[in-house]
Amino acid sequence: MAVRATVSRFPIDPDSQESSGVPWGLTVTPFAAKDENDQAPAYGLDGHLLPRCENCYAYFNTYCELDQWAWNCSLCGTLNGLSAQAISRYSHPQSCAEMMSSFIDLQLPSSEEFLELTKSALQAALEGLYDVQGPIPVKNVFVHQDTEGILPIELEDVMPLLQFLAPVETCKDRITSALETLRPITSWERTPGAGQVLDGVLMGGRGFGAAMEALCNYLGSEYGNTFALARVFVCLSGPPDYGPGQLDTRRYGEQYASKGEDADCALLPEQTPFYKDLAAVAVQAGVCVDIFAVTNEYTDLASLKFLSIESGGSLFLYANTDDSTLPQDMYRMLSRLYAFNCVLRLRTSTEFKPGHSYGHFFPDPQYENVQHIICCDSFATYSYDFDFANNVGFSRFVICKLLQIIQLQIAFQYTVVVPPEELSSLGLVSSSRGKHSLKRRLRIRTLQYGTAQNLNDLYDSVDPEPVLSLLVHTVILASLEQGVREGRMLLHDWLVILTAKYNEAFKHIQYKNGSSSITAQMDVTFSQCPQLQPLAHLVFALLRNPLLRFHEEGVHPDYRIYLQCLFSALEPSSLHRAIYPMLTSYSTPDKPAYPRHSLSRAALISSGSPIFFLDAFTTLSVFYSSTADPSLPFPPPHDCLLRSTINKLKQDRCITPKLVFIWGGQDDATVFENYLIEEQDVDGSGLTSVMGFVSFLEDIPQSVLEYMK
């Protein structure tokens, strides 16, 4: 469980928070195998015996005061009694994980122990079910819809679920044969609202809504307690255009033609609540849905996205089949470890509380600050911002001359498939048993933070990457509610306010006779605070990102939605790379030259390096300068250092990045040059006669003065 706060020293009260201009919150990656310092948790058993506070329900941890009969909660201070069992347990502290570390992972009792892992995939075409276990090698059971696109019969009545699900080990050939029977839909089926009668049966186009509704009901039937998780992979080649959940894609054409409405605002909200309501059904049934859209036509992902993100799934978008990484992405998702049926809860000490929470989860309808996550891998990240519970904040520590330590606790309860070798290493089962088991576990992280003595102290404790995470969530929310233009304004204004607060703190700006004046050269680069210096670049890059670029610049609304879903689940370092790519250079494929360059053509020319490598998270570009020695091997050999670096990056990604090789002057370098953003105008007018980032900074002082009037 990796946790990164925007500031390592918290503001002391609401006034200090307001005066700083820095977002206050954190990001958490709950299923990460180690914490942000590369430390693993202390593992143990009997998580159900861990004492809990009678007042705030926080768990006992190493920061709690413990005596022979009782313990004080480190979060709220409540005195709690110890049971006889706990007293006996803590008389041998070296045997208890919670006495050895503030980061623990405990096993919970489960009635599902030693269930064999069923490695099966639900492969169903929209037009029917496939029986791969019956006497006929592959049998297609056709289920026709009525005139409104609704299935008149439940799938459970067509084929019992236990008969439909088939183990890969014994049915792989038959499943492959079933896949071979799939055929592309015809052109008339791709027209909006298609419908045609064949042999007395009404045929439709993409009846995706009806199919998913039936499938969620199918998997969530009476067998809900038999299967720990159902994961559904959905591949779409266009918008659902038939039956329940059909989407009217004409709104894209109307807005694109510009009829007086703001396309950047009109195309972001969903046009129907059908898929959001269906996501609630999927969550209730324990179904996680991953959507893979392979299309270059408007599909209205703004409506479809809820089915994936609220069920704990992912949304992928591929513009065409030629360079799609769909097979690699699907393989990655199936091969990596993930937790399921998860519950995430953040608790804080009494002086502050969680404000907004962000991420791909389903909020608990009854309890605050409780999130349900159907499926969670080691990359999935969630964010919180904080509010003070009162006007005093942490200042009581100063008044009472107490040690200024603030605490919060994150609890993550989940189920995981444990291989037999891991069980054997823990002494829980013989490895000869050869079976996987389902284990319910409780992972707890209790953290301590100090308070900042002043603004300089707070600025020095800033971590810019979690700050970026919270900013991205904020502008996505603003864009969805009020349009992209509002999201851009909000982001720009935040940088202006931060610059003003910083310059006030360092006495570059002072108030005289009710107005502000500059007492020295305004510092827009945060030269006196290294921790703030990356933020101006990050804001500029975010303004140039397709996430916030205008519709008239050619940003497809589905691509914008895809980026919203991707960025809102990335851990801070990955998000940093996606927003502001890393450009490095090599003298040869085996010899690095410079570890970092600015994203500009000038950097390429001045460095003199022949080979450049750009990591933009979703795209990896290797660019050979037009003046590079022709004898240099191109593309780089598979056994060189550059290739090893690329392979390591690809291995550590949650998605499969696209790899591009370009020789300047010979190949089209557009995909590479588009990332050289520091020479681009921030308002989207393309290349300018002056340096884009430089002119962007030059405009900040005037905006600061206008803000301070």
Q: Is the C-alpha dihedral spanning 258, 261, 267, 270 positive or negative? A: negative
- Contact residues for 100 (Cβ-Cβ < 8 A; gap 6+): 42, 62, 93, 94
Residues 108 and 416: beta-carbon distance below 8 Å = no
What percent of the chain lies above the pLDDT cut of 90? 42
Residues 300 and 292: beta-carbon distance below 8 Å = no
Please report the pLDDT score of residue 614 as a whole number: 96
Residue with the two structure tokens 């998000």: 575
CATH architecture of 464-575+684-708: Up-down Bundle (1.20)
Domain 48-100, CATH number (from 3.40.1260.10, 2.30.30.380, 3.20.20.70, 3.40.50.720):
2.30.30.380
Mean pLDDT of 37-43: 93
Residues 117 and 436: beta-carbon distance below 8 Å = yes
Q: Which two tokens stand for residue 702?
A: 């005037």
- 439 phi/psi in degrees, rounded to 5: -125, 135
Closest by alpha carbon to 289, among 204, 392, 208? 208
Please report the pLDDT score of residue 24 as a whole number: 95
User: What is the spatial distance between Cα 74 and Cα 58, in angstroms, rounded to a whole number?
Assistant: 9
Q: What is the signed CA dihedral for 211, 215, 218, 221, rounded to 10 degrees?
A: -120
- 355 phi/psi in degrees, rounded to 5: -100, -100
Residue 657 or 133, more confident: 657
Q: Where exactly are the structural domains of the chain?
A: 48-100, 130-179+204-335, 464-575+684-708, 582-676
The predicted model scores a pTM of: 0.85
Tell me, yes or no, if the two domains 130-179+204-335 and 582-676 fold the same way.
Answer: no
- Contact residues for 641 (Cβ-Cβ < 8 A; gap 6+): 586, 589, 590, 591, 592
DSSP code at position 27: E
285-325: pLDDT as tens digits: 888 899 999 888 888 899 999 999 988 889 999 988 887 88
Q: How many CA atoms lie within 13 A of 139 on its CB side?
A: 11
Residues 242 and 204: beta-carbon distance below 8 Å = yes
**Helices marked H in 166-228 — which ranges?**
168-180, 208-219
- The most confident of the ranges 267-271, 291-295, 342-346 is 342-346
CATH C-level class of 130-179+204-335: alpha beta
Please report the pLDDT score of residue 158 as a whole number: 63
Within the chain, what is the greatest distance between any pair of CA atoms? 92
Topology of the domain covering 582-676: Severin (3.40.20)
